[in-house]
């Protein structure tokens, strides 16, 4: 071959450069190169084949191999670029990998694999392992699966770092010469000499500096400190293993050189039996210390007494990272039975960092529906804060009847008494009024007005607007309607407020099946369009008695249908909501953390997700209500009543020491934000009182829901006017 090419070398450009590799084979020390690997192997059709495939946006690559004489020998290589049509399809990575697999089997290596009884395909795309069993295939991939039906093979996953042979074939060759021409720049000799001289001067002035990551730690307060951890002597580790009840039996049998039979292994604890299952990987070094050795790791079999130290070094001092990262750090160095579950328990249950981290799945208690059967049995009220309009109005008092959904909205500057001076005078006093813990509702005047009018009251738990869902939902609907106004009308939205509320009351409600206006007055409202087209054709009654009878029949029929529809809608909502429930019923005495609801963002991004003080459950406020009364675990703080969604069980956290309490004079102690109509806590006794520095919240309680305003700045929906 070389002689034939040399004869025509005068017609071949750069022949010597291209043929240099052939000339190298003529050297004396190259006699055995052509018949030794990486020379291709000869296929043995009695043995299974192995196919490695890979794909990129430039091309496809595949390698056909076979295990011969205990080694994997390459039988054939295959690669090609993507066609113009394939590039235009913009295949995603999984589809490109499937294309490479299909091309390698049905086209490139068809003659090798068609008659093979079975073979294995390795790919660095894990979803490809399930492509033959999935039902979600389009027309193209369905055809590819049909083409592969004549072949008998299995697909296995291989990480990309181990799939270099096929990966290299799928890449376009790099044009090094053109790249060098683009990146090269000729520098004058003076510039090069000056650069060399500057580097030499810097080398003389450099002071060696070293850093050890193990010498640094991050404290619970976020400060970086220098650790002075001294190494544990090998004698101490050996003695700890010898005294450990889990490791000692395995260590003794390993020293004797004989593995006990399974029957004898069953006499030991489950953890010891787990170590016996690792028998072939266990070894004792020259210092008498037991290790577990695998292909990639040498792990110290860790005694129980050092687990806490390892957790502190590899979790606490490594930034309190998650379970998977901590397991990776520990697994590279240590081994003990049930290591994964122990680390997960420590990271997610025991470590103090639980207070700082947001849980992966938020607590969600089952939905509890409020049931009403007649108008004004329950009225829900709330304040909506808007941009200031003409006249200084910036608040809307929203009043919603729970049964009919009939709504009234009043533009106001600072008054909540409109419910008594306007609403009640038009529609009568409701049986019960429901509101949140805004300052305009939690004051002496409002409570006295309720008492004088004979209305019962109820309120939501702190920071749980879902407890007043009808009013909150009406706020959102009203905002959407106000946003549809023109820019000129928005600057004076008060003038359009009553019209929009009337339009809402005249519209059929999906829950009840009737409009709020009809359920309240048992007649359809007359709209301007009815007058315009003469659609008001309802026949009137001959006298008042007939009208009352007709009105009564219509009311009973409408209420019955509305009750049935509302009940079905409530059941649907509860069924859908409860599919995502993630909570458990808390028992008295159970320890919990309370969600830290101080504002986030800006400087507050580093605030803990949970409050630092641990509380204990006193009681559940009703067997079917996810509301609990809580008290601080340490100290004499006041009780709080909160919704289950704001709590997280923390029974596994370590108990804290009693906080230091400073005695203060009762006459000098100030009570903060205590509503005049609310009683003091039952634990308020005569005598000395204490200022709990660790718990700044001083929150009164009540049989329903305590007030926690000013424990943090109010949220957007709580920017209410003050009385």
Q: What is the pLDDT of residues 76-109, one digit of tens each?
A: 988 888 888 888 877 888 888 899 999 999 999 9
Residue 204 pLDDT exceeds 60 = no
- Predicted confidence at residue 179, as pLDDT, reads 52
Across the beta sheet with 591-594, the strand order is 640-643, 627-632, 615-620, 591-594, 647-649
- Which two structure tokens, joined as six digits, stand for 114? 């068609």
With bands split at pLDDT 50, 70 and 90, how would you rate the model's confidence at 315? Answer: very high
With bands split at pLDDT 50, 70 and 90, how would you rate the model's confidence at 303? Answer: very high
- Predicted confidence at residue 199, as pLDDT, reads 66
- Predicted confidence at residue 305, as pLDDT, reads 93
- Residue range 517-531: mean pLDDT, rounded: 84
- Predicted confidence at residue 665, as pLDDT, reads 43
548 Cβ neighbours under 8 A, 6+ residues apart: none
- CA–CA separation, 487 vs 480, rounded Å? 14
Please work out, in degrees rounded to the nearest 5, the angle formed at the alpha carbon of residue 111 by the alpha carbons of 106 and 117: 85
More confident residue, 135 or 67: 67
- Predicted confidence at residue 239, as pLDDT, reads 92
- Which two structure tokens, joined as six digits, stand for 540? 């009137």
More confident residue, 343 or 20: 343
Of the listed ranges 250-264, 370-384, 584-598, 662-676, the least confidently predicted one is 662-676
Residue from 69, 63, 28, 30 nearest 47 by CA: 69
More confident residue, 578 or 599: 578
Q: Concatenated DSSP letters for 636-679?
A: -PPPEEEEGGGEEE-TTSPPPPPPPEEEE-TTT----S--TTSP
- Predicted confidence at residue 183, as pLDDT, reads 58
- Predicted confidence at residue 198, as pLDDT, reads 67
**Do the beta carbons of residue 407 and residue 509 sit within 8 Å?**
no
- CA–CA separation, 336 vs 310, rounded Å? 12
- Residue range 205-233: mean pLDDT, rounded: 50
Here the contacts of 618-624 (C-beta below 8 Å, separation 24 or greater) are 618/588, 619/588, 620/585, 620/586, 620/588, 621/704, 624/368
- Predicted confidence at residue 397, as pLDDT, reads 92
More confident residue, 37 or 376: 376
Sign of CA dihedral 436, 442, 448, 449: negative
- Predicted confidence at residue 538, as pLDDT, reads 64
What pTM was estimated for this model as a whole?
0.51
Alpha-carbon distances, residue 632 vs 74, 366, 651 (angstroms): 70, 25, 14
Note the residue count of the chain.
723
Q: Percent of the chain beyond pLDDT 90? A: 24
- Predicted confidence at residue 475, as pLDDT, reads 92
Averaged confidence pLDDT in the chain: 78
- Residue range 302-320: mean pLDDT, rounded: 91
Over the stretch 690-718, which tens digit does the pLDDT of each residue have? 232 333 333 333 333 433 333 333 333 33
Q: Percent of the chain beyond pLDDT 70? A: 78
- CA–CA separation, 168 vs 61, rounded Å? 7
- CA–CA separation, 407 vs 398, rounded Å? 7
Alpha-carbon distances, residue 161 vs 65, 76, 328 (angstroms): 18, 21, 19
- Predicted confidence at residue 185, as pLDDT, reads 63
Residue 473 pLDDT exceeds 60 = yes
Q: Which range, 140-149, 158-167, 177-186, has the best average confidence (pLDDT)?
A: 140-149
- Which two structure tokens, joined as six digits, stand for 390? 């003409």
- Residue range 25-33: mean pLDDT, rounded: 62
Residue from 659, 649, 610 nearest 628 by CA: 649
- Residue range 10-38: mean pLDDT, rounded: 69
Residue 136 pLDDT exceeds 50 = yes
Residue 216 pLDDT exceeds 50 = no
More confident residue, 327 or 6: 327
Over the stretch 426-463, which tens digit does the pLDDT of each residue have? 898 999 999 988 888 888 878 888 888 888 888 888 88
- Predicted confidence at residue 599, as pLDDT, reads 64
Neighbours of 434 (CB within 10 A): 23
- Predicted confidence at residue 66, as pLDDT, reads 92
- Predicted confidence at residue 172, as pLDDT, reads 56
With bands split at pLDDT 50, 70 and 90, how would you rate the model's confidence at 224? Answer: very low
Please work out, in degrees rounded to the nearest 5, the angle formed at the alpha carbon of residue 686 by the alpha carbons of 682 and 688: 115
Residue 215 pLDDT exceeds 90 = no
Map residue 78 onto helix, strand or coil. strand
- Which two structure tokens, joined as six digits, stand for 406? 């009939």
- Predicted confidence at residue 17, as pLDDT, reads 76
């Amino acid at each position: 071959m070389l002689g034939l090419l040399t004869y025509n070398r005068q017609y071949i450009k750069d022949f010597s450069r291209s043929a240099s590799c052939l000339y190298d084979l003529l050297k004396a020390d190259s006699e055995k190169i052509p018949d030794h690997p990486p020379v291709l192997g000869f296929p043995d059709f009695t043995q299974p084949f192995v196919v490695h495939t890979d794909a990129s946006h430039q091309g496809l690559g595949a390698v056909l191999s076979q295990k011969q004489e205990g080694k994997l020998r390459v039988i054939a290589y295959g690669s090609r670029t993507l066609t113009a049509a394939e590039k235009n399809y913009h295949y995603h990575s999984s589809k490109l990998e499937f294309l490479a697999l299909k091309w390698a089997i049905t086209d490139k290596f068809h003659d090798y694999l068609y008659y093979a009884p079975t073979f294995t395909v390795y790919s660095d795309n894990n979803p490809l392992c399930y492509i033959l069993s999935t039902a979600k295939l389009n027309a193209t991939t369905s055809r590819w699966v049909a083409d592969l039906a004549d072949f008998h093979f299995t697909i296995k996953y291989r990480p990309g770092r181990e799939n270099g042979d096929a990966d290299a074939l799928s890449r376009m060759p790099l044009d090094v010469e053109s790249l060098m021409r683009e990146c090269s720049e000729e520098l004058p000799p003076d510039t090069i000499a000056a650069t060399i001289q500057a580097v030499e001067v810097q080398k003389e002035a450099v002071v060696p500096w070293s850093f050890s990551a193990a010498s640094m730690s991050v404290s619970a307060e976020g400060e970086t400190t220098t650790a002075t951890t001294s190494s544990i002597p090998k004698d101490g580790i050996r003695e700890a293993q010898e005294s450990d009840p889990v490791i000692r039996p395995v260590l003794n049998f390993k020293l004797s050189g004989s593995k006990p039979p399974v029957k004898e292994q069953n006499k030991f604890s489950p953890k010891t039996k787990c170590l016996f299952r690792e028998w072939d990987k266990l070894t004792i070094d020259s210092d008498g210390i037991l290790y577990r050795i695998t292909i990639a790791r040498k792990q110290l079999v860790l005694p129980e007494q050092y687990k806490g130290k390892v957790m502190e070094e590899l979790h606490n001092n490594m930034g309190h990272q998650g379970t998977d990262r901590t397991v990776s750090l520990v697994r590279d160095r240590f081994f003990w039975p049930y290591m994964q579950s122990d680390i997960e328990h420590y990271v997610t249950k025991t470590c103090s960092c639980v207070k700082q981290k947001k849980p992966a799945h938020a607590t969600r208690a089952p939905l509890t529906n409020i049931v009403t059967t007649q108008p004004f049995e329950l009225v829900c009220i709330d304040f909506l804060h808007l941009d200031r309009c003409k006249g200084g109005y910036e608040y809307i008092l929203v009043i919603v009847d729970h049964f009919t959904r009939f709504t009234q909205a009043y533009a106001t500057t600072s008054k909540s008494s409109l419910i008594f001076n306007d609403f009640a005078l038009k529609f009568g006093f409701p049986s019960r009024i429901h509101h949140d813990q805004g300052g305009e509702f939690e004051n002496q005047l409002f409570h006295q007005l309720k008492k004088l009018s004979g209305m019962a009251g109820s309120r939501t738990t702190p920071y749980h607007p879902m407890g007043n869902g009808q009013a909150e939902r009406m706020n959102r609907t009203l905002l959407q309607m106000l946003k549809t106004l023109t820019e000129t009308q928005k600057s004076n939205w008060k003038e359009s407020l009553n019209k929009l509320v009337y339009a809402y009351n005249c519209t059929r409600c999906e829950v009840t099946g009737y409009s709020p206006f009809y359920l309240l007055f048992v007649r359809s409202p007359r709209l301007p369009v009815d007058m315009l087209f003469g659609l008001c054709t309802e026949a009137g009654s001959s006298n008042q008695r007939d009208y009352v009878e007709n009105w009564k029949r219509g009311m009973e029929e409408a209420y019955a249908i509305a009750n049935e529809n509302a009940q079905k809608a409530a059941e649907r909502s509860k069924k859908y909501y409860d599919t995502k429930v993630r909570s458990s019923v808390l028992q008295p005495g159970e320890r919990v953390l309370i969600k830290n609801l101080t504002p986030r963002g800006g400087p507050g991004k580093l605030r803990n997700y949970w409050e630092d003080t641990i509380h204990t459950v006193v009681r559940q406020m009703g067997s079917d209500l996810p509301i609990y009364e809580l008290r601080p675990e340490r100290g004499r703080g006041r009780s709080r009543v909160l919704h289950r969604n704001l709590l997280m069980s923390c029974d596994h956290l370590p108990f804290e020491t009693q906080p230091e309490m400073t005695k203060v004079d009762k006459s000098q102690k100030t009570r903060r934000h205590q509503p005049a109509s609310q009683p003091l806590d039952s634990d308020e006794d005569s005598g000395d009182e204490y200022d709990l520095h660790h718990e700044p919240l001083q929150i009164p309680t009540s049989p329903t829901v305590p007030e926690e305003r000013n424990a943090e700045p109010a949220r957007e929906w709580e920017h209410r006017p003050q009385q």
